[in-house]
Amino acid sequence: MSPGAPAALAVRLAGLAAMLDAAALVPGLRVLDYGSRDGWSGTLLEASGCQACFAAPPGSAAPPGHLLHDGIRLDLPAASQDRVLCHRALFAADDPGGLLADFARILTPGGRAVLLEEAGGPEIAADRLRLAAEECGFVRLDRALFGQQALLLPPAAFTALLAEGPAEAAEIAALRALARPALEGVRLFVLHRAAGPAQDSLQREGLAAGIALLRARRVEQGFRLVLRITNTGDATWLPSGGQRGAVNLGLLLLQADGSLADQNWRRHRFLKAPLAPGEAVETGLLVPLPAGAQLSLDLVAEHVRWFSEPGTGQRVALPD
């Protein structure tokens, strides 16, 4: 390994970490990894529970299992990917606008394209990229600020960074020092597709619920509950199960003081058919609640979102 290799490795790892964070990944998302030349991103995507496919730019050697882009159109159906990760490949393409349009074509409503590009490569100003993205159907462009190095600060300076209120000159200088090594090497852009009208629980938008406790009684095994669950949003709920977008009732276990003990304590599958906005369903369940614990309820579209993010739900008052 050459003397400069550790620094180069730090740049690559910092950029990859920033890409994955900016993509807002959740398990079950379908992700196109475009232009990655090593196995790191694929390994991390699979560890995140995402369904990844890989594509190589024109003229490159496509590893086994990778699509080889013909420079015109990716061999993927429209609206088939929730995220696109593009590694240092857009600005180097013969037709960046065409590639960008194809990213927009294969993204689902509300999807994101995350672009990592060399700062010293072919220069495309951010405003030109934004205009090109808007022509393709993207509705917003964000630029990401991220750091590469561990910046060592005295305790007082570190505390100042976390303080509320307007940023002081010293804080701005510290942030610049943290971010500059990465920003001088690469630029990170995030392009957002319009969410479109709410349709079903495969997308995050339009998911809302009302949970009413109709009856609760203590039994030998715990508590028997009867609930009325109403779709108060504008997206249809898909039937319960383990697949992406399936709507289940999530039971969150709380400590005696009300703090969260286990967000994913139990799931209750209550929905046998799609539930349209405004409709309701009643369900019964047995809850073997541990002694001294409390219970909170929330709906969850699996691998998409908790309805009341960050998933704290509503606490249930149980009989003594």
More confident site: 276 or 164: 276
Question: Residue 1: is its pLDDT beyond 70?
Answer: no
- Domain identity same for 110 and 231: no
Q: What is the CATH number of the domain that holds 86?
A: 3.40.50.150
Tell me the per-residue pLDDT of 104-144, one tens digit each, with 9 for 90 and over.
Answer: 999 998 899 999 987 765 555 677 888 999 999 999 999 88
Residue numbers of the domain that contains 262: 209-316
Lowest mean pLDDT among 15-24, 42-51, 172-181, 274-283: 172-181
- Domain identity same for 241 and 111: no
**288 is a domain residue:** yes
Domain count, the chain: 2
- Domain identity same for 17 and 51: yes
**199 is a domain residue:** no
CA angle 222, 249, 225 (to 5 degrees): 30
Question: Residue 264: is its pLDDT beyond 60?
Answer: yes
Please give the pLDDT value at position 64: 76
Please give the pLDDT value at position 203: 80
- Domain identity same for 134 and 220: no
**What mean pLDDT, rounded, does the chain reach?**
85
Confidence of residue 7 (pLDDT cuts 50, 70, 90): low
| Percent of the chain topping pLDDT 70 | 83
- Domain identity same for 186 and 213: no
Confidence of residue 298 (pLDDT cuts 50, 70, 90): very high
Question: Residue 292: is its pLDDT beyond 50?
Answer: yes
- Domain identity same for 63 and 90: yes
Please give the pLDDT value at position 306: 92
Please give the pLDDT value at position 106: 96
Give the DSSP H/E element, type plus range, for residue 169: helix 169-183
Please give the pLDDT value at position 181: 62
Please give the pLDDT value at position 42: 84
Give me 283's structure tokens: 């369900």
- Domain identity same for 59 and 184: yes
**85 is a domain residue:** yes
Half-sphere exposure of 220 (CA within 13 A, CB side): 0
Q: Which long-range contacts (CB under 8 A, 24 or more apart) does 97-101 make?
A: 97/132, 97/135, 97/136, 98/71, 98/72, 99/69, 100/132, 100/133, 100/136, 100/191, 101/135, 101/136
Give me 254's structure tokens: 């709380």
**201 is a domain residue:** no
Please give the pLDDT value at position 2: 44
- Domain C-terminal end among 130, 164, 193: 193
Please give the pLDDT value at position 36: 85
Confidence of residue 225 (pLDDT cuts 50, 70, 90): very high
- Domain identity same for 286 and 164: no
- Domain identity same for 220 and 76: no
**203 is a domain residue:** no
Mean per-residue pLDDT for 257-283?
93
Tell me the per-residue pLDDT of 53-74, one tens digit each, with 9 for 90 and over.
Answer: 999 998 887 777 788 888 889 9
Cβ(270)–Cβ(281) below 8 Å: yes
Q: What is the CATH number of the domain that holds 222?
A: 2.60.40
**198 is a domain residue:** no
Beta strands in the chain (DSSP E): 30-34, 51-56, 67-68, 81-87, 107-118, 138-143, 186-193, 209-219, 222-231, 247-254, 260-268, 280-287, 294-301, 305-306, 314-316
Please give the pLDDT value at position 68: 85
- Domain identity same for 173 and 270: no
- Domain identity same for 103 and 230: no
d(CA 300, CA 96): 38
pTM of the model: 0.65
Radius of gyration of the chain from its Cα atoms, rounded to whole angstroms: 24
Tell me the per-residue pLDDT of 139-197, one tens digit each, with 9 for 90 and over.
Answer: 999 988 776 666 666 777 667 666 656 656 666 677 767 666 666 667 889 999 987 77
- Domain identity same for 14 and 87: yes
